Structure 1
Amino acid sequence: MTSSRPMTSSHEDQALARTAVDALVGQIALLPKPGLPDPRDLGAGAGLRDHRTLRWSAAALEPGLAAMASAARRAGAPTPRLRAELGAIGRSIERTVARAGGGHRGALWALGHLVAAAALEPDARAADVVALTRSLAAHPDRGAPRRPSRGSSVSVTFGAAGARGEARAGFPHVRRALVALAGARDAGATEPQARLDALLTVMSTLQDTELLYTAGPFGLRQVQAEARGVLESGGTATDAGAAALVALDSSLHARGWSPRGSAGLLAGALFADALPLRARRTPCGGFRSVPR
């Protein structure tokens, strides 16, 4: 049972939540994202509502994420009680986001764990914050609905790690995305190109339950191989890699396949990449997100 005390958020908690939402919006705004909603949808009637709704509903996560950060800061350690409180807050956020248009369930799972971990260790490096999520996810969420979700059912059917497995392993694909971001930047890629390379890095190995559900194991392996092909062509900063990305995007849209799990983990990586926030104080004593 969670605490009945009002969840007041400090400037630090609000800053973490704002940074998480900025990361999610940054992922949504990235283009061209293969098989995923992006700003190109604004010029096409079919995708108009999806992209705009995703941007609108992303803002609905902020109060709940701030509450997660506040709960973690009060707890001071990744305890079973904190895990239960985070689960209860997460389900409340899902209802709020549904009223705002829906979406972001995978991103919420990653960002919720990461925001809580960042609140527990405010000055930690990105890699250490991501690793701390393993301790949070190790505890069962005893308040979770007994009815399995589609993602968990697919995980059981195909033996995939799924969202829970990613969290319990300390989000290995968030860590891989962070390495890819740094490597692409060091190689001279623009920020959008670095982020696309990070997304493709996740896609190349993630057992994405959304793809398993819509495309099956063979389709998943095909998408993974084509994502690796973009990277092996030199990444999105090269002409060959950019052409391979266009081909992958066309292929996914033609089949109706969407690597949504990879998109959510990229949002988690962009949040972790923005940490720590201690150097971002404003003159009034609050915090602000600093774009790259």
Structure 2
Amino acid sequence: MNSREDGALAQAAVTALTGQLALAPKPGLPDPRDLGARAGRRDHRMLRWSAKALAPGLAAMAAAARRTGEPTPGLRAELGAIGRCTEHSVHLAGGGHRGALWSLGLLVAAAALDPGAGPRDVTATAKRIAAHPDKRAPRRPSRGSSVSAKYGAAGARGEARAGFPHVRRALDALIKARSVGATEEQARLDALLTVMSTLQDTELLYTAGPIGLRHVQAGARGVMEAGGTATEAGAEALASLDADLHARAWSPRGSAGLLTGALFLDSLPR
């Protein structure tokens, strides 16, 4: 049976994911403005519902980490097995959230290993877990790993093995925006755009290629260079980028998953 602490970490992660889903306007991503908005052929209501299916698996990951006590190869293998079972449960509930499950699973396990640790310590522990290969993982390459190999992008695994640098950047942007008076929604949008401005998003590389990726990165930088979403110029730039990405059907889903990781770390007690 999972402890109360494991369940609390899992619930914090799910709350971070549903908070990310509720954010609007997210360029190229589903949000509440249109409950039929599509992301990988799944509508927004389905994504919110299936997010709840992550909780049991995340609690099991926290319990495994707490029981093991160290970021060992055995823990990495156990997290991988739990993650694959959780993916199946999420698929039955409507699907989605594969990238968020990867990052949240590692961060939840890291937080369970080091209760009370700050965000940077949690990402450092997650890095140590991710450094171990999952020897039981299926041998077939995923779309993300294929794109990473083709273009030399870090991808989700590279991001984790580097200690989630974009999660840390998102968290820094979140704190900075709040400090200058942005609303919580504006601060979270600024954090998302900060990630989008530099992340080599494998989903974008797959659908839009390197030129498309650079186009999205430049658009996100443009919003931030205009002063961020709390300013009139920044809000106008965001609206233009949002319309552009929706028209092109380009979705920076990797950035959304990393923002979710930042929101989870932000929710941990300091």
The verdict on a shared fold, with TM-score over 0.5 as the criterion, is yes
Q: Deviations over 1:32-54 (max 9, x none)?
A: 00000000112x58789610000
User: TM-score, with normalisation over the residues of structure 2?
Assistant: 0.98
- Identity, in percent, stands at 75
Q: Which of these residues, 134, 139, 147, is aligned with residue 141 of structure 1?
A: 134
Contact 2:60-2:82 within 8 A present in 1 as well:
yes
The verdict on how the C-alpha distance between 1:45 and 1:102 changes in structure 2, with shifts beyond 3 A counting, is closer
Please tell me whether residue 130 in structure 1 is matched to residue 123 in structure 2. Answer: yes
Structure 1 residue ranges (4+ consecutive) displaced by more than 3 angstroms after TM superposition: 44-49
User: Structure 1 residue 127: deviation in Å?
Assistant: 1.7
Question: What is the number of residues matched between the two proteins?
Answer: 269
C-alpha change, 1:88 and 1:49, in structure 2 (3 Å) is closer
Gap regions ≥5 residues in structure 1 = 1-7, 278-292
Map residues 209-220 of structure 1 onto 2, 5 A cutoff: 209-220=202-213
The structure number with the bigger radius of gyration is 1
Q: Which residue of 2 aligns with 1:175?
A: 168
SS of the equivalent of 1:134 reads helix
Contact 2:42 2:94 in 1 (8 A): no
Q: After superposition, give the CA deviation of every residue in 1:16-47 in whole Å (9 maximum; x if it has no partner).
A: 000000000000000000000000112x5878
Tell me how far 1:276 sits from its aligned partner.
Answer: 2.6
Is residue 2:258 matched to residue 1:235? no
> Alpha-carbon deviations, 1:207-244, whole Å to 9, x = none?
00000000000000010011000000000000000000
Cα separation, 1, equivalents of 2:124 and 2:179: 24
Shift of 1:111: 0.2
Please tell me whether the aligned partners of residues 120 and 168 of structure 2 are also in contact (alpha carbons under 8 angstroms).
Answer: yes
What is the 5 A alignment of 1:3-82? 8-42=1-35, 50-82=43-75
Pick from 155, 158, 169 the counterpart of residue 165 of structure 1. 158
Task: Give distance in 1, aligned partners of 2:265 and 2:123.
Answer: 7
Partner of 1:194: 187
Gaps of 5+ in 2: none
Q: Is the 8 A contact 2:37 2:44 kept in 1?
A: no
Q: 2:165, 2:94 → 1: CA distance? A: 30
Contact persistence 1:126–1:276 (CA under 8 A): no
Deviations 1:172-228 (A, max 9, x none): 000000100000000100000000000000000000000000000000001001100
| CA–CA distance in structure 2, aligned partners of residues 131 and 182 of structure 1 | 20
Q: Distance in 2 between matches of 1:46 and 1:258?
A: 10
Aligned-pair CA distance for 1:167: 0.4
Q: Please, which of 203, 207, 217 is the counterpart of residue 196 of structure 2? A: 203
Q: What is the rounded CA distance, in whole Å, between the counterparts of 1:14 and 1:110 in structure 2?
A: 17
CA gap 1:254/1:60 in 2 versus in 1, 3 angstroms: same
1-structure distance, mates of 2:124, 2:24:
29
Query: Aligned to 2:34, what secondary structure does the other structure show?
Result: helix
Query: What letter is aligned with 2:203?
Result: E
1:261 aligned residue: 254
Residue 105 (1) aligns with residue 98 (2): yes
The 2-side partners of 1:107 and 1:276 are apart by 21
Please state whether the residue corresponding to 1:276 is helix, strand or coil: coil
Moved more, 128-137 or 14-23: 128-137
Aligned equivalent of 1:118: 111
Q: 1:45/1:157 Cα in 2 relative to 1: closer, same or farther (>3 Å)?
A: closer
Return the match for 1:222 from 206, 215, 220.
215
Aligned pair 1:85/2:74, yes or no? Answer: no
Per-residue CA deviation, residues 126-172 of structure 1 (Å, 9 max, x unaligned), is: 12111211100000000111000000000000000000000000000
RMSD: 1.3
**Matches of 2:57 and 2:92, distance apart in 1:** 14
